[in-house]
Amino acid sequence: MLFISCISYSQQNLKQNYTPLKSSGTLPDIFTQNIRNVIKDDITELNKQKEEDRGIKSNYLTAANYEIEKIVKSGNTLINDEVTTYLNELAGVILKNNPTLKNQLHIYTLKSPVVNAYSYDKGYIFIDIGLIAQAETEAQLAYILSHEISHYVKKHNINGYVKNTKIDKKNYSGKTSEDKLIEKCQYSKEYESEADIEGFKLLEQTNYDFKQAEKAFDVLQYAHLPFELVEFQKTYFNNSNYKIPDSYFLKEVSSIRNNSAEDDTKHTHPNTAKRKQAIAELISKRNNSGRVNYIIGKEKFDYIRDLSRMELCRLYLKNRDYMNAFYAAYILEKKYPQNEYVAEIMSKCMYALTLYSRGDLRYDGDSYLENGIPSYSDIESYPQQLYYLANKMPTNEWTILSMNYVYRNHKKFPNNVMINAYSDSLFKIMGNTNWEIFDFVRTNKRPDTTIVKTEVAVAKTDSGISKTDLIATIQKENNFKSYDTAYYKEIYVDLFMNDKEFTSKFPLAGIKSENSSSGFTTYTTGSSNKIYTTSKPKKDKKVKYQEIKVEKVILLDPFYLKINEKKEEEVRYVDSDTKQEKFVVTVNECAQKQNFEIVNLDPSLITSGQVDKVNDYSIMNDWFSEKFDATSNSKNPILNTNDINTLIKKYATQYVLKTGIVNYKSKRGRKATYYYAFVYDLVNNEMVYKKQEIFRGKDTKDLVNAKVYQTLFELKRLKKKI
């Protein structure tokens, strides 16, 4: 902690750009300590104290230690970064009179868009980026931190575990599982209320404004809304030649619902109204004069919050929450109009929504976007306009809009590789349609529809006209109608007139794009005459194979899990950890026997000085997070991990091996072992090797050895379909 406090950072210039938050400095002890020894010591200590429910508590200590280790080493936990350092500084302010308690705490920032904070045993407190982004003042954040510290001081986590376990074990004859849930929630609410009060008492020892404690609950109440309520301007995408029709916007957005007094019977936390009331009662008995919103400083708080908000955009993108990402960036753009990162985020969102609406991005059941862009009717307040626009605007019009937006951002930040890539990719999409320069340059004068209508009227009344002639006339009329709605026709006029790059990149009629140089989705050639459609590639009946010969892989976080339903503690944490260690050794041994190179990117092998590996691991996890959310076999572009190319160069391989074993023993004593190994090609964004097998029986050493050896053996002789 002393070391952390000594780290000084040069602040980022958010007016120009933002560099994603990364861990730095020396890694904490949790990275180097042996978790099994820690658990052993904890349980020995527990037994010495001769407390009640030692069996349950012993299980808790095992599970909690692993849980904490898992979170800290997940790659989503920021260590010694600016935000985490600030949170520790804030804890120092809160506990200035209790340095012993302060030294017991391990406070970290979690890279998560969720608005929440978590307190664990042993003083581990995790604050989500989403929460920091929403906080309005330093005092609010201080109160939330105080609340979490109180959970730790009051040992709510371990006591809650004991109570929940007892409830689970209770004989509930005639009662449903819902009754159990309600009872558990009741305990949980009591703990939350206690933490609210105790947190307030901690706040009392500082000079923070008490009112901010009450307001902190409002922040939580409206966490589903953007971090600032900024109206979405209908003219945002407009320019002198382009105006989105009003029909694409709502006349009035929905109001914000107030559900602060909702039924909290089945909630782990009391409803906001109750919590606010309890705090308000305390405030009414205190003198609040002279208390302040900022002790460390407003400027510092604003900066840290803006860092979090910048990071939040990335996290939304990672979750494919393009609408929220865009809106968050939209708000930030108001404050930082020249920020390149913000422009990149917005360009990514526009590009992703284009692909998504065209069906070129697909996600499976775990994804936010499984069922399409969320309906605008569920959205409250100003963001509803954006959702409405995205829902109402047809795909082709969105593509035109998107290309216009991204290209202009490219012109604004010509050196931004990613924006340039998205822009190029959008040109290729245009190239696979029947749009041509002519369609956008010519100013189509609206035909005199009265003449057409007269013709049609005549045609319809003239009994001598043929059926086909009549159809042709009606079609002609319809074509003219489409001109009426072509509000976007002149969107690129200024670019065609003044921008040579745009003109040269804009596809000529009938020329279809070949492979994308940007590494994104390839748009194949076709000869379809249908308007505004991309054609499908012709199927080649002959399957050809190409030898890959993978000889070096990044071994990403090998996984081992043992589950035994016969035991009270079903997840065998200690056994799993022991086996995992051996598994890593096995993989490396098998690799050595075959002259196969392995680069271990495994948090359990990271030493205190290897913070760069933690960051690499985090980047890799981000990449896989998006990859795994895609439907199987799809080559969805990975939009949110810019640094992956750096890692490919750094480790001199484009292949990543994810492998693991799950051993399961059922209540009846049946045993099964699941082995998996997947190899991904980061450059080509595809899975090149897949092995999933289930064996009846134990996870014997020969099974593990044989399968791992086989995997590496096959990788060296790998062939893929081309």
Partner 1 sequence: MLQLSNFNMKFIYSIIITFCLFNGLAQAPGYMGKRFSAGYGFYASPGFVGSHGLTKVNILHEGFIEFAAKKNFSVGGSIRYYNARYSNDRYVKISNFDLPIDNSGYNYQQLDDNPSGITNIKGLTYTLYGKFFKKKYLAPWGRYFLLGVTLNTYVASYDSDQMYVPFEKSNGNYNEPRKNFYFTDFGPTQQSFNKIDVMIGNGRSRIIGNRIILDYGYNINLWAATTAIFDLNDEPNNGFNTSEYISGVSKVRVRAVNRFNVFIKVGVLLF
- Residue number, 442 or 593, with CB nearest to partner 1: 593
What is the DSSP secondary-structure string of 651-672? Answer: HT--EEEEEEEEEEE-TT--EE
The C-alpha R_g of the chain, in whole angstroms, comes to 30
- Residue number, 554 or 590, with CB nearest to partner 1: 590
Does residue 98 come out as left (phi exceeding 0), alpha (psi in the -120 to 50 range) or beta? Answer: beta
Q: Which two tokens stand for residue 386?
A: 């954006």
- Residue number, 594 or 645, with CB nearest to partner 1: 594
Query: Rounded to the nearest whole angstrom, what is the least distance from the CB of residue 575 to partner 1 in the complex?
Result: 21
- Residue number, 519 or 660, with CB nearest to partner 1: 660
Query: Rounded to the nearest whole angstrom, what is the least distance from the CB of residue 589 to partner 1 in the complex?
Result: 8
Compute how many other C-beta atoms are within 10 angstroms of the C-beta atom of residue 609: 12
- Residue number, 487 or 695, with CB nearest to partner 1: 695
State the pairing for strand pair 719-721/545-547: antiparallel
Query: Rounded to the nearest whole angstrom, what is the least distance from the CB of residue 700 to partner 1 in the complex?
Result: 7
Query: Rounded to the nearest whole angstrom, what is the least distance from the CB of residue 661 to partner 1 in the complex?
Result: 14
Query: Rounded to the nearest whole angstrom, what is the least distance from the CB of residue 543 to partner 1 in the complex?
Result: 20
Query: Rounded to the nearest whole angstrom, what is the least distance from the CB of residue 551 to partner 1 in the complex?
Result: 15
Sign of the four-CA dihedral 712, 671, 74, 586:
negative
Query: Rounded to the nearest whole angstrom, what is the least distance from the CB of residue 659 to partner 1 in the complex?
Result: 15
Write out the E strands in 499-630: 545-547, 552-556, 559-564, 597-601
- Residue number, 481 or 717, with CB nearest to partner 1: 717
Query: Cα–Cα distances in Å, from 424 out to 349, 457, 501, 504, 555?
Result: 15, 47, 11, 11, 33
Query: Rounded to the nearest whole angstrom, what is the least distance from the CB of residue 605 to partner 1 in the complex?
Result: 22
- DSSP annotation of 20 reads P
Q: Which two tokens stand for residue 503?
A: 């003109």
Query: Rounded to the nearest whole angstrom, what is the least distance from the CB of residue 437 to partner 1 in the complex?
Result: 55
- Residue number, 517 or 700, with CB nearest to partner 1: 700
Query: Rounded to the nearest whole angstrom, what is the least distance from the CB of residue 702 to partner 1 in the complex?
Result: 4
Which of 71, 23, 632, 643 has the alpha carbon at shortest distance from 364? 632
Q: In this structure, are residues 304 and 21 in contact, taking their beta carbons and an 8 Å threshold?
A: no
What is the DSSP secondary-structure string of 99-156? Answer: HHHHHH-EEEEE--SS--EEE-GGGEEEEEHHHHHH--SHHHHHHHHHHHHHHHHTTH
Which of 713, 675, 690 has the alpha carbon at shortest distance from 593? 713
Residues in the chain: 722
Compute how many other C-beta atoms are within 10 angstroms of the C-beta atom of residue 38: 19
- Residue number, 453 or 719, with CB nearest to partner 1: 719
Q: Which two tokens stand for residue 480?
A: 């003219």
- Residue number, 533 or 710, with CB nearest to partner 1: 710
State the pairing for strand pair 655-665/559-564: parallel
Query: Rounded to the nearest whole angstrom, what is the least distance from the CB of residue 692 to partner 1 in the complex?
Result: 10
Q: In this structure, are residues 84 and 78 in contact, taking their beta carbons and an 8 Å threshold?
A: yes
Residue 329: what residue type?
A
Which of 351, 331, 355, 356 has the alpha carbon at shortest distance from 342? 331
Q: In this structure, are residues 491 and 400 in contact, taking their beta carbons and an 8 Å threshold?
A: yes
Residue 344: what residue type?
E
- Residue number, 40 or 671, with CB nearest to partner 1: 671
- Residue number, 387 or 709, with CB nearest to partner 1: 709
Query: Rounded to the nearest whole angstrom, what is the least distance from the CB of residue 713 to partner 1 in the complex?
Result: 4
* Chain centroid to CA 56: 35
- Residue number, 45 or 693, with CB nearest to partner 1: 693
Q: In this structure, are residues 17 and 10 in contact, taking their beta carbons and an 8 Å threshold?
A: no
Say which residues have a Cβ less than 8 Å from residue 45's Cβ, sequence separation at least 6.
Answer: none
- Residue number, 525 or 705, with CB nearest to partner 1: 705
- Residue number, 591 or 601, with CB nearest to partner 1: 591
Query: Rounded to the nearest whole angstrom, what is the least distance from the CB of residue 694 to partner 1 in the complex?
Result: 8
Contact set with partner 1 (CB under 8 A): 590, 593-594, 693, 695, 700-703, 705-707, 709-710, 713-714, 717
Q: In this structure, are residues 242 and 491 in contact, taking their beta carbons and an 8 Å threshold?
A: yes
The b-or-e profile of 492-507 (16+ CB within 10 A means b, else e) is bbebeeebeebeebbb
Query: Rounded to the nearest whole angstrom, what is the least distance from the CB of residue 691 to partner 1 in the complex?
Result: 9
